[in-house]
Amino acid sequence: MFEPFFLRALLASLGLAVVAAPLGCFIVWQRLAYFGETVAQAGLIGVALALAMQMDVTWGVLIVALAVAALLVWFGRQKLVGLDSVLGLLHHAALAAGVIATSMVKGAPVDLTGFLFGDVFAVTQADVVVIFVGGAVVLALVAWLWQPLLRLAVHEDLAAAEGVDREMVRTVFIVLLAVAIAVAMKIVGILLVMAFLVVPAVAARPLSGTPERMVVLTGFIAAASVVAGLWLSATFDSPGGPSIVLIMSIVAGLSLSWAAIGRPGRRGS
């Protein structure tokens, strides 16, 4: 069970679980799940771009994710069509364009399943290094911007009127989100990236009375799900990424059920 490929998978997934925790919480707090989903699915275009230009897939995904995020912000300036509809449009357009683009890449046929659902056991040593170094940078930036991020998440206008630079903070957050998506894609794939970010945060919400506690709990739930999911995968030979996400979802389901019955999440500091 503890062969090198398994250890690499474990390390990469655990690192990602920790980095994803604060981002996932902010996605839940600011209702950005569908936004992130759209950006993630556009990653498939990035995959095709990277393959065509023979560069690392992570870079291709990152570039396209940023471009789509910018496009979403741009479309958000008009008020005639709601953002949910714009997201629906781009979400499906990106998926369609991505599938077409990957099918047109010359050379060896592209393994679409690997990109859509990830291949956690194919993680290389270099990938692990990227996750840990990149993850440290992401965490440092989130820590630095924690207070303004929180103020904007609670009430954007209030924070802006009190002097928070919302354009700057929001831009940094979107860039961080795109980085996380690009890096996480290798492990859980384009279709499950958002689940990896959002589901542990959803699971943690009913059990949290402060934002910080929710972030820590999100990290714990994600890490535990990673261990359990990879064990499941090794034992029953199920796909790695989906196994992790399935465990996360079960925890979230239980947590929400508990919230639906009782009155949790009310205790303060």
List residues near another protein by CB under 8 A: 28-29, 31, 79-80, 147, 150-151, 153-155, 157-158, 160-162, 205, 208-211, 213-214, 265-266, 268-269
State how far the alpha carbon of 142 is from the alpha carbons of 154, 187, 202, 203, in Å.
Answer: 16, 22, 19, 21
The token duo for 57 is: 């897939």
CB of residue 16 to another protein, shortest distance in Å: 24
CB of residue 147 to another protein, shortest distance in Å: 7
User: What is the number of other CB atoms lying within 10 angstroms of the CB of residue 72?
Assistant: 18
Q: Which is nearer to another protein, 111 or 165 (CB)?
A: 165
Give the 3-state DSSP-derived string for 6-57, with helices as H, strands as E and coil as C.
HHHHHHHHHHHHHHHHHHHHHHHHCCCHHHHHHHHHCHHHHHHHHHHHCCCH
Helix, strand counts (H, E) of the chain:
13, 0
CB of residue 218 to another protein, shortest distance in Å: 12
CB of residue 73 to another protein, shortest distance in Å: 16
CB of residue 40 to another protein, shortest distance in Å: 21
Q: Which is nearer to another protein, 5 or 74 (CB)?
A: 74
CA 96 to chain centre: 21
Q: Which is nearer to another protein, 85 or 210 (CB)?
A: 210
CB of 16 closer than 8 Å to CB of 183: yes
Q: Which is nearer to another protein, 17 or 164 (CB)?
A: 164
Q: Which amino acid is at 68?
A: V
Which residue, chain included where needed, has tokens 């639906």?
260
Q: Which is nearer to another protein, 114 or 211 (CB)?
A: 211
The token duo for 188 is: 């859980």
Q: Which is nearer to another protein, 80 or 261 (CB)?
A: 80
CB of residue 102 to another protein, shortest distance in Å: 36
